[in-house]
Chain A
Amino acid sequence: MRIICPVKRVPDTAAKKAVEPDLTLDRDGVEAVLNANDEWSIEEALRIKERTPGTEVVVLCVGPEQAQQTIRKALSYGLDGAIQVSDPGISGSDASGIASIVAGALADEEFDLVIMGNQSSDARTMLLPAMLAEYLDLPALTYCTKLDIDGDTVRAEREMPGGHQVVEAKLPAVVSVVEAINEPRYPSFKGIMAAKSKPVVVKDLQDVGLDAEMVGLEHAWTQVLEVTPRPPRQAGDKVEDDGSGTVGAKALADFLVARKFL
């Protein structure tokens, strides 16, 4: 079995973010990390690999040269190799553009499963898994909380409002996972050291069958019109208890009653 794990290099979620004049995110001014949701997809791929001898897991990352750091981080979990798509023309691509690039990168690859996080912490469109499945003409099993592979079938539980669905599809398929699916492991020192020497195949737009007229900011299907910083949080009411608990408890009860929670 061969599993592809697309991952994204995103600004550290704790960092204060700035926006460029063209309303794209300033990615150079903040520390970048591996998208947290992609750690769940990596973990799930590794668990399948551990259950299924002979499985190869390959990370795929669309990003500039600096994304090598993100790729090494992903490899340090114990993945086998990497594909990077890097090209100046990619900058500013929207979800559709990136999905077409990932699909192009996979056109010549053999794989049984694509597992990815359901969203990135910077853009949060949640569009990519479904778009990628569409470009690849493969089944999409999204928002998965449980995965089982049985022969040439993948069965998944999907998170739904108010419950869950059980769905299945023939392989190959595209799967997106949510936080509830697992607890990611810690990269070990052996994994970190091994990641330094694992193969990374670097491709440009031409290699994936695209050109700069098809992707990038200018050719994006969606356009960001305005960016507004979140307003600062208002200070809340502070209640000082007298040590007996009665003052604080009464204030809390009054608060809940006033808002009809009680």
Chain B
Amino acid sequence: MDFAIPEELTALRDSFARFLEREVRPLEAGVAPELARGEAGTPAQREAAAEVRRRACREGFYTAHMPESVGGWGLSALGVALLVEDAARSGLTLAGAAVGPPNPAAPSPLLLGLPPALRDRYLAPLMAGATTMCFALTEPEAGSDAAAIRTTARRDGDSWVLDGRKHYITNGARADLAVVFAVTDPERRARGGITAFVVPRGAYAVPRTQAVIDDSDIAELVFDGTRVPADHVVGEVGQGFRQAMGFLDAGRAAIGAHCLGTAEWCLDQAVAHARSRTAFGRPLAAFQGVSFPLAESKAEIEAMRWLTYHLAWQVDRGGPATPDSSIVKLFDTDRAYQIADRCLQVFGGQGLLAEGPIEARLRHLRVLRVVEGASEVHKLVIARALGLA
């Protein structure tokens, strides 16, 4: 077994670290007072994030996960995971805008399933960072049970007509286009009866946003006789459910890496605080009640690291990612949340402040245990692999 990170990926991480320091940190400083007040999603933060995205597009980091044929780097899943980890570990709130995954607003390989002319129209602006997208699968009556979606698409001449309602759509309030999953064959549903469509903003309604713990751009999308040309099918008719699951599966290593980097950052902060803060005449680090939870966190971080890198390695080899992708999603989101909680505890009252280093991360990590397959769904997948369900 060779656990060494390939030399070229180490060189890439070095390049990315410089980018974060030189390009992102100064922008972060501009919005730091707002972040310290616990304000999220302000116009200044949106503009700063858009500027990070533009700069990262210019340098190639934002689209590194996309194939060279459309202007990306064709970076391996392991390479993408390392960049995602490093962005999170930097502690820079804006760093997440510098890499595409796991953010569904970034250009998705799903769009490679479009005809060439539509790739130019929809994918090219995404690759340039000029637009963003969203992934519209979840519905009010179909969350964990994604195959139960009710949005329909019926063929009418040269068009498809979509009717239905999507909700909890990340970046739904801002996206310039949506990849929408709809039932095209009610008899077959998940087995060849669900199709993906690319639908431009303006063809559907966004009646309301749905502010959640750490994001105000979640939105409801409504399709009421929305007509899209027949060539707006993403991939093949009837293959949408397989595409949706494949998309989510491919993103698990990136979510795992995001959790890993966030947990590492929390631990870095807690260790520094434990070493510098004194109580009862001694550094906090001298109390095992403080040092042992941090030692446990380190052990769990290493477990997260190798589960995540291993999943990325499997994806790069083209091997089966199930149930490993579920194991990573379940374990990394759960452990990262627990680690952030322990690290917050080390800071005591300071940990509860919005301006503290952990509070916003803890809220964010709580979200990740629910989205893109709740932990219970992933337990179900793992149980099935054990022959238990």
Q: Which residues of A contact B (CB under 8 A)?
A: 69, 72-73, 76, 183, 186-190, 192-193, 196
Contacts and interface: CB of A to CB of B under 8 A. Distances in A.
Interface stretch (B8-16, B87-95, B172-180, B362-370): B8-16
A188 B14 CA distance: 11
Chain A interface helix/strand/loop/mixed: helix
Contact of A187 (B7, B15, B22, B64): B15
Interface centre among B11, B16, B19, B79 (most CB of A within 10 A): B11
Contact of A73 (B11, B60, B64, B73): B11
| Nearest 7 interchain pairs by C-beta | A189-B73, A186-B15, A187-B15, A192-B11, A192-B8, A188-B60, A186-B19
Nearest to A189: B73
Interface centre among A73, A76, A186, A187 (most CB of B within 10 A): A186
A58 to B, nearest CB: 20
Contacts of B22: 183
B contact patch SS? helix
Nearest to B11: A192
Contacts of B59: 186, 188
B19 A189 contact: no
Interface in B47-90: 59-60, 64, 73, 75, 79
Interface string B1-43: 0000001100110111011001000000000000000000000
Nearest to A34: B14
Contacts of B11: 72-73, 76, 187, 192
12 contacts: A72-B7, A73-B11, A186-B18, A186-B19, A187-B11, A187-B15, A188-B15, A188-B59, A188-B60, A189-B12, A189-B60, A189-B64
Contacts of A196: 8
Interface in B209-261: none
A7 to B, nearest CB: 15
Given A183-B22, A192-B12, 10 more contacts: A76-B11, A76-B15, A186-B18, A186-B19, A186-B59, A187-B15, A188-B15, A188-B60, A189-B12, A192-B8
Contacts of A76: 11, 15
Contacts of A73: 11
Contacts of A69: 7
A69 B7 CA distance: 9
A183 B60 CA distance: 18
A180 B226 CA distance: 57
A190 B22 CA distance: 21
A72 B11 CA distance: 9
A195 to B, nearest CB: 8
B18 A193 contact: no
Specify which of B7, B12, B19 lies most central, judged by the most chain A CB atoms within 10 Å of its CB. B12
- Residue among A73, A183, A189 with the highest chain B CB neighbour number at 10 A: A189
Contacts of B18: 186
A72 B14 CA distance: 13
B50 to A, nearest CB: 20
A193 B73 CA distance: 10
Contacts of B79: 189
A60 to B, nearest CB: 20
B71 to A, nearest CB: 11
B60 A193 contact: no
Nearest to A183: B22
B7 to A, nearest CB: 8
B198 to A, nearest CB: 27
B101 to A, nearest CB: 15
Contacts of B15: 76, 186-188, 192
A187 B14 CA distance: 9
Contacts of B73: 188-190
B387 to A, nearest CB: 42
Contacts of A190: 60, 73
A5 B193 CA distance: 61
Contacts of A193: 8
A201 to B, nearest CB: 21
A106 B75 CA distance: 38
B306 to A, nearest CB: 23
Nearest to B8: A192
A160 B376 CA distance: 68
A72 B19 CA distance: 19
Nearest to B64: A189
Contacts of A188: 15, 59-60, 73
